[in-house]
Amino acid sequence: MKISVVGAGSWGSAIAWMLGEKGLNVSLWARNAELIQAMNSEHRNTRYLTDLKFSPTVSATNDLSVCLENTEAVVLVTPSSVVAGMAEQIAPLFDSRVPLVLLSKGVEGVSGSLLLDVLGEKLGSPERLAVLSGPNHAEEVAKGIPSATVVASISEDTARTFQQLFATQSFRVYTSNDVVGVQLNGAAKNIFAIACGLASGLGFGDNTAAMLMTRGLAEISRLVIKLGGDPITCMGLAGMGDLIATCYSPHSRNRSFGLELAAGGSLEAYQERTHMVVEGALACKTVTDLAKVHGVEMPISMVMRSIVWDKLSTDEAIALLLERSFKPEFY
């Protein structure tokens, strides 16, 4: 069975490794020539998860047509900002009946659409599309540390297909039909991870982190409900589970970016140094734009947008949040 993994960052590499360990033939698409050469000759990724040894059944290529030829399933794991463009490139290269699962987390910046909606428009056959999300740091999944995730699709058959494809003894996979809730939680939680990193860097404690996480989850749930998702999803793996992992883990690039902001660093410098995209920075724009369109109040998200993109000072940000009028906890 051939599986195509489009994207060779940390998460794409971890997934390719995991599928290879199951004995599947994996074609991994990457841009970096050095990475491709090392993967095919030494079975290592020289850029991400560099200590990981891949199965010989995993090969790399920079040719999308080679990657997708005769594939039986596609795993798309690129930065959210390029999902739409990538969908246009891959659309003519594989059969329209082949299932595809999205591992990217975000909202499309130009249209404000959820990414599965974008893929449905570009690829057709939305019933063969799914999204995977959960508390899944690549560094831990690639070590076989017990983890769990959720796969959501409008088609139960598609969700079960990817459940069976990804499930291992240490990687538990659950299914859902709430594609809206799973996607919004995956996109928005990164905003609050930046906020928690920033708060920690400024010397605040666990009380502040707990406040940011729970009030952040309230913001996410309001948006999920407004867009027709199931609020219970916010309490599951794609919601609270991913929020906890992203806000507290040392593996979280969004949290570590928040720490860098507290020290006076910039988004550009952080991404240049780490070779990683900070999805939460883009989400500060795309998620709050979506909230504005639908009239959903997301005060922490809006303040984080101003800090990341408009150079709002942390003192001003703290004042804006702490001086808000008092409300019922849930509204």
Give the pLDDT of residue 331.
Answer: 84
Distance CA 148, CA 238 (A): 10
Give the pLDDT of residue 330.
Answer: 87
pLDDT digits (tens, 9 = 90+) for 182-230: 999 999 999 999 999 999 999 999 999 999 999 999 999 999 999 999 9
Give the pLDDT of residue 276.
Answer: 81
Question: Could you tell me the pTM of the whole model?
Answer: 0.94
Query: Which one is catalytic: 189, 226, 292, 327?
Result: 189
pLDDT > 70 fraction of the chain, expressed in percent and rounded: 100
- Please choose, from the candidates 42, 32, 102, 88, the residue with its C-alpha nearest in 3D space to the C-alpha of residue 62: 32
Q: How confident is the model at residue 277 (pLDDT cuts 50, 70, 90)?
A: confident
Give the pLDDT of residue 164.
Answer: 98
Q: Where in the chain is the domain with CATH 1.10.1040.10?
A: 187-322
The yes or no reply on domain 2-177 and CATH 3.40.50.720 is: yes
Beta bridge partners of 26: 3, 58
Task: Look up the CATH superfamily of 187-322.
Answer: N-(1-d-carboxylethyl)-l-norvaline Dehydrogenase; domain 2 (1.10.1040.10)
311 is catalytic: no
Helix (H) or strand (E) holding 328: none
β-sheet with 129-133: strand ranges across: 58-61, 25-29, 2-6, 73-76, 100-102, 129-133, 147-152, 171-176
Give the pLDDT of residue 254.
Answer: 94
Q: How confident is the model at residue 37 (pLDDT cuts 50, 70, 90)?
A: very high
Q: Are 224 and 231 in contact (CB under 8 A)?
A: yes
The set of residues, in sequence order, having a beta carbon less than 8 Å from that of 73 and lying 6+ positions away, is 1, 3, 4, 98, 99, 100, 101, 161, 162, 165
- Kindly list the distances between the CA atom of residue 183 and the CA atoms of 133, 179, 202, 249, in Å, as whole numbers in the listed order: 8, 6, 30, 21
pLDDT > 90 fraction of the chain, expressed in percent and rounded: 94
Q: Where in the chain is the domain with CATH 3.40.50.720?
A: 2-177
Give the pLDDT of residue 275.
Answer: 81
Tokens for 119? 């893929």
How many Cα neighbours within 13 Å face the side chain of 331? Answer: 7
pLDDT digits (tens, 9 = 90+) for 124-155: 999 999 999 999 999 999 999 999 999 999 99
pLDDT digits (tens, 9 = 90+) for 77-120: 999 999 999 999 999 999 999 999 999 999 998 889 999 999 99
Pairing type for strands 2-6 and 25-29 reads parallel
